[in-house]
Amino acid sequence: MIPGLIYPNLYPSWLYVALIPLIIWEAIWKGIGLWKAGRNNQVVWFILIFLLNTAGILPIIYILFFRRKR
């Protein structure tokens, strides 16, 4: 049960508006990072990106500095 449905004023509506772009941002970067780590057989990076929610920071760091160049 979602608390916001029982108590409609429990969470401010601006919070939902602010979280939706952050969730989309994280999902895009996480998907790209997981794809690249999986294709390069980098299991440790794949697990770290999969388990940690860092607002896209960890996948960006991986993509820019630690992925293998082909």
pTM of structure: 0.69
Specify the amino acid at residue 28.
Answer: I
DSSP H helices in 1-70 = 3-6, 13-39, 43-51, 57-61
The tens digit of pLDDT for each residue in 12-65 reads 677 778 888 888 988 999 999 999 999 999 999 999 989 888 888 888 888 888
Q: What angle do CA 2, 52, 68 make, to 5 degrees?
A: 145
